[in-house]
Amino acid sequence: MRALVAGGAGFLGAHLCDRLLQKGYHVTAVDNLSTGFLENIASLENHNNFQFIRHDICSSLHLEVDEIYNLACPASPVHYQSDPLQTLRTNIMGSMNLLELAKENGAKIMQASTSEVYGDPLVHPQKELYWGNVNPMGQRSCYDEGKRCAETFFYEYHKQKNVDIRVVRVFNTYGPKMHPNDGRVISNFIIQALRNAPLTVYGKGLQTRSFCYVDDLIRGIMAFNDLQETCDFPVNLGNPEEFTVLELAQFIIELTNSRSKIVFCPLPQDDPQKRRPDISLAKKILGWQPIVPLKEGLLRTISYFDTELSYAQPNVVV
């Protein structure tokens, strides 16, 4: 099987490439390296069944493939808000180009959508049938609405052009290979704690999140892709265990034995107050649920960042 992973040098994409290679796929990773890093796939570069192409999916692509995984879009507010128009183009034009490629090849295609399609939800936990509460003019709208529009493209390509689609709504995911400066809460807290710097908590830290370790997420993606029948509906993938941001900050300080203190900053616009997936559908049709506890996943991620920081900031003897 020949797989194309768009965003293959990113956090999730690199893990997915590795898993596909383990399953015997021929894998082509495509990335424009705007937020992805070649270091994420350095261990794969000598694999006989792996190739990397530097390419922006906003331009058309012509390859012979059997499966396509679209993970190509900045996923953290710091990055997707830095160029909102490019974020929209990636979600909309990029999705259309990959869907056209799937149609040309008769290939199966998966869209990595997001829990952000639910916005600041008025329903808790969030089921796939919930339409969301999204501000179309806010700071996050380029990502939220871009992903919502991308989903619509997928459903319409299935209905009108008979493309075999999968749409996963990814909830907060963490683990090794995260960008240290991507602005997401777990990477922020771990970096700050390892440096004994203040942990920046927005608002009072009472907003809740659910955190899924990357291995669990990739396992869910593979299980969804392995379904024989096409699925013209989205499936939530995430960990339903819910924590406040303040609880997370305190836990990371404890796990890192950090001297960091917690400081409180103004809450950003449209920051969701609650975020927790209902994964009943994933359990039913995939037999999937996360198995890595938060403590274990955080310890692995802390170890990764500790190593990365030691390389970036070698000790100097004065």
Contact 8, 41 (CB under 8 A): yes
3-state secondary structure of 310: helix
Contacts 24+ apart (CB under 8 A), 84-87: 84/141, 84/142, 85/142, 86/34, 86/58, 87/142, 87/143, 87/146
What would the two tokens of residue 60 be?
């058309």
The answer for 116, left when phi > 0, alpha when psi is -120 to 50, beta otherwise, is alpha
What would the two tokens of residue 127 be?
């089921």
| CB-count burial class (<10 Å; 0-12, 13-18, 19+) for 265 | exposed
Q: What is the Cα–Cα distance from 110 to 98, expressed in whole angstroms?
A: 10
Q: 168 Cβ partners below 8 Å, 6+ apart?
A: 110, 111, 112, 113, 220, 221, 224, 234, 235, 236, 237
Which one of 25, 69, 80, 143 is the catalytic residue? 143
From 167, 245, 179, 256, select the one nearest 210 (Cα to Cα). 245
* Strand (E) or helix (H) holding 100: helix 84-105
3-state secondary structure of 209: strand
From 122, 140, 165, 39, select the one nearest 80 (Cα to Cα). 140
Contact 248, 185 (CB under 8 A): yes
Q: 164 Cβ partners below 8 Å, 6+ apart?
A: 102, 107, 108, 109, 158, 230
Q: Is 130 one of the annotated active-site residues of the chain?
A: no
For the annotated catalytic residues, the residue numbers are 143
